[in-house]
Chains A and B, each alone.
Chain A
């Protein structure tokens, strides 16, 4: 089974801190994604990457950046955390080919910014 591992399950940070959320997948997937999920708003795509060192903005990239230096690792960075970034963050990965291969999600990181 594909595993997508997120480094922290719960995280509490202070306003203005720089925050790193790490995601590692173990099945050599080309594509990796970062979402945030808020009640009533569903899954919203922040950034995604289809190859090492490649990144594309999603629907809500403001206030975030990403890094993909190795194929298996995709990091989300909150440059200066704010309270409106309190949310559940989900990482996912997917193969590039084969439409029947779905997204595999990590268990999520619940971030609270105080």
Chain B
């Protein structure tokens, strides 16, 4: 089973700043990753998918994957209060057994 580690936070950033969320993993076989956002009381929703080393950008969100160092990160530029949520990372593909990190709570304060 894959192990995925995230700092639970909370990570508190001011509005307009860059929020950096990190995830490390132990299974070198993990080739691609998802990032999910979960608002309080809601279910997780998929926001990003990354499968190759380097950066993938989607609007204010940038996912970064470094397979050599076994970490994946999510940067949120120009953070907004509406970005306040818990962010979960999860590997994709390979084993049927999906493992999610425990998630990092992000608070964006005005």
Contacts and interface: CB of A to CB of B under 8 A. Distances in A.
A4 B90 CA distance: 19
B49 A103 contact: no
- Count class of interface residues, chain B: 20 to 34
B60 to A, nearest CB: 20
B34 interface: yes
Contacts of A90: 43-44
Contacts of A59: 1
Most buried by B among A42, A58, A102, A103: A102
B42 interface: yes
Contacts of A107: 42-43
A103 B102 contact: no
Interface residues of A, number: 23
Contacts of B43: 90, 105-108
B107 interface: no
Interface stretch (B17-25, B63-71, B73-81, B92-100): B92-100
B45 interface: yes
Interface in A30-85: 31, 33, 40-43, 45, 48, 50, 56, 58-59
Contact of B92 (A33, A42, A56, A99): A99
A94 to B, nearest CB: 8
Given A90-B43, A99-B32, A106-B43, A33 B49 contact: no
B102 A102 contact: no
Contacts of A100: 32, 49, 51, 92
A101 B99 CA distance: 15
Given A102-B46, A105-B43, A108-B43, A58 B32 contact: no
Nearest to A110: B41
Given A42-B103, A43-B88, A108-B43, A103 B98 contact: yes
Nearest to A58: B97
A31 B92 CA distance: 13
Interface of B: 1, 8, 31-32, 34, 36, 42-46, 49, 51, 88, 90, 92-93, 96-103
